[in-house]
């Protein structure tokens, strides 16, 4: 995930050059105006502004230029021999020291932030491993957008496991934001990767993941010494993760979908996108002890040259400046003919244009396409990336609406 290029006008060297030009301009104005107009005292503001934008070395350069400009201005206005001039120089010196100190502190914090971004990038690579480009007849594309550009990663998660007989796909959205959501996402992904290799039926896999997830939360709460909730005498964090589990055969055939309170994916075929609605929602991971047994997984036809589009609720809950939700279902049909890579890129561009500001929630998207011609397996078991959805009853996209379990989320 590359950072956007810094515009030229925001580059520290360009800002430094601009401030030097401002000093020179004020000095020229002082030169060609009557002595009653004195800009020397105004020049003191330049090093103060430099502390906000420039590096310590650049601040020192501006300080030196400011002192020279103030002395030259005082000479032009015949103030060098006035008793007030040393006081003016003393004030400039104090402001300069404060500006330099502020610049040093800011530079140190920027270095700390850069280190934090590096840690976040490493965490993202470990938690959300890159998608395999292809497994058998299946090709994968993915896109992750963090609401907090400094954090790079939040509570959205996805994973793909090649079990040999087929492909297991997971997508989820952890409750809340920040480190707590990231911790829950790591528990769910870890459970998914371990348990998928046992080749359990999809419903049994969901039940085992829920049990392991609640156990991890309980142990985490107990070790923290500050449990938020107690159930049955054991410590339990208040946390859940909506999720979708898919099982896709490598050859032609229907895929199995189990929706654990997540947003509905879409089946895209022949230029038409259809929401995959579940026969029944199961409880999100972490809340399995409050509900009955999970319903059976739904079977969904997945013919050659079809695409499954999976996403988290940050996409359909994004709003523009007028507070209107992004009409994802209505716009998807316009993009349905695109290849998965181009499809995700087009959705991203359209979303950015619609929202116009920063995102309020993280967004993960994955497109899975079944090719018309079988190909050899090119992936390695335990590659990651993925997303899943509920089941559908063949409806036009315009009626899809906002599916899945809605919940509030703090800013990452």
pLDDT single digits (tens) 27-72: 787 777 776 666 667 777 787 778 777 788 888 888 888 888 878 8
* pLDDT score at 404: 33
User: Higher-confidence residue: 78 or 391?
Assistant: 78
pLDDT above 60: residue 97: yes
8 Å CB contact between 74 and 26: no
Interval 243-269 mean pLDDT: 89
pLDDT above 50: residue 120: yes
Distance CA 182, CA 184 (A): 5
pLDDT above 50: residue 98: yes
Distance CA 45, CA 3 (A): 32
Average of per-residue pLDDT values in the chain: 76
* pLDDT score at 244: 93
For the CA atoms of 113, 119, 120, 123, the dihedral, rounded to the nearest 10 degrees, stands at: -170
What tokens does 229 get? 């909730």
Q: Which of 36-45, 84-93, 271-280, 402-411 has the highest mean pLDDT?
A: 271-280
Confidence of residue 125 (pLDDT cuts 50, 70, 90): low
* pLDDT score at 152: 54
Confidence of residue 390 (pLDDT cuts 50, 70, 90): very low
What tokens does 48 get? 């103060």
In this structure, what are the phi and psi dihedrals at residue 294, rounded to the nearest 5 degrees? -65, 145
What tokens does 172 get? 């989820």
C-alpha to C-alpha distances, 88 to 44, 72, 104, 129, nearest whole angstrom = 9, 13, 24, 60
* pLDDT score at 58: 83
Give every CB contact of residue 105 below 8 A, 6+ residues apart in sequence: none
User: Higher-confidence residue: 181 or 186?
Assistant: 186
Interval 215-229 mean pLDDT: 70
pLDDT above 80: residue 223: no
Confidence of residue 386 (pLDDT cuts 50, 70, 90): very low
Instruction: Provide the residue ranges of all domains of the chain, joining segments of one domain with +.
Output: 8-119, 129-399
Residue 261 is classified by DSSP as B
Orientation of helix 45-53 relative to helix 84-127, angle to 10°: 10
Classify domain 129-399 by CATH number: 3.60.40.10
What tokens does 266 get? 């879409």
What tokens does 43 get? 């020049």
What is the DSSP pairing of strand 363-370 with strand 266-269?
unpaired
Residue 360's CB is within 10 A of a number of other CB atoms, namely 14
Give every CB contact of residue 214 below 8 A, 6+ residues apart in sequence: 236, 286, 288, 289
CA 342 to chain centre: 20
pLDDT above 50: residue 396: no
Interval 253-278 mean pLDDT: 89
* pLDDT score at 295: 78
Per-residue pLDDT of 319-369, as tens digits, reads 888 888 988 988 898 888 888 889 999 999 898 888 887 777 788 899 999
**Would the CA dihedral through 118, 225, 155, 186 be positive or negative?**
positive
Confidence of residue 257 (pLDDT cuts 50, 70, 90): very high
């Amino acid at each position: 995930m590359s950072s956007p290029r810094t515009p030229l006008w925001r580059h520290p060297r360009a800002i430094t050059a601009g401030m030097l030009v401002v000093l020179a301009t004020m000095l020229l104005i002082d030169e060609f105006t009557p002595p009653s107009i004195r800009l020397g005292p105004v020049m003191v503001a330049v090093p103060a502004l430099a502390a906000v934008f420039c590096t310590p070395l650049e601040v020192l350069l501006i300080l030196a230029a400011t002192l020279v400009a103030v002395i030259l201005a005082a000479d032009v206005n015949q103030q060098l021999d006035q008793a007030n001039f040393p006081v003016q120089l003393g004030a400039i010196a104090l402001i300069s020291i404060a500006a330099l100190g502020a610049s040093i502190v800011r530079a140190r914090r920027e270095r700390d932030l850069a280190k934090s971004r590096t840690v976040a990038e490493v965490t993202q690579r470990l938690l959300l491993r890159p998608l395999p480009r292809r497994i058998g007849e299946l090709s994968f594309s993915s896109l992750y957008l963090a609401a907090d550009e400094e954090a790079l990663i939040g509570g959205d998660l996805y994973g793909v496991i090649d079990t040999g007989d087929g492909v297991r796909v997971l997508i989820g959205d952890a409750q809340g934001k920040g480190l707590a959501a990231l911790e829950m996402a790591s528990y769910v992904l870890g459970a998914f990767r371990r348990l998928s290799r046992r080749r359990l039926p999809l419903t049994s896999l969901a039940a085992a993941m829920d049990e392991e997830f609640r156990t991890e939360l309980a142990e985490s709460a107990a070790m923290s010494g500050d449990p938020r909730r107690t159930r049955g005498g054991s410590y339990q964090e208040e946390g859940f993760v909506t999720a979708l589990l898919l099982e896709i055969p490598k050859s032609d055939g229907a895929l199995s979908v189990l929706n654990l309170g997540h947003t509905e994916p879409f089946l895209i075929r022949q230029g038409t996108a259809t929401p995959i609605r579940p026969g029944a929602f199961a409880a999100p991971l972490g809340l399995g002890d409050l509900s009955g047994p999970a319903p059976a997984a739904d079977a969904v036809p997945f013919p050659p040259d079809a695409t499954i589009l999976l996403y988290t609720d940050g996409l359909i809950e994004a709003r523009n400046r007028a507070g209107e939700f992004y009409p994802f279902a209505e716009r998807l049909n316009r993009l349905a003919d695109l290849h998965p890579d181009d499809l995700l890129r087009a959705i991203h561009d359209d979303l950015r244009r619609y929202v116009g500001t920063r995102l309020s929630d993280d967004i993960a998207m994955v497109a899975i396409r079944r090719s018309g011609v079988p190909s050899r397996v090119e992936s390695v078991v335990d590659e990651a990336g993925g997303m899943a959805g509920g089941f559908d009853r063949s409806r036009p996209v315009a009626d899809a609406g906002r599916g899945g379990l809605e919940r509030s989320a703090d800013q990452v």
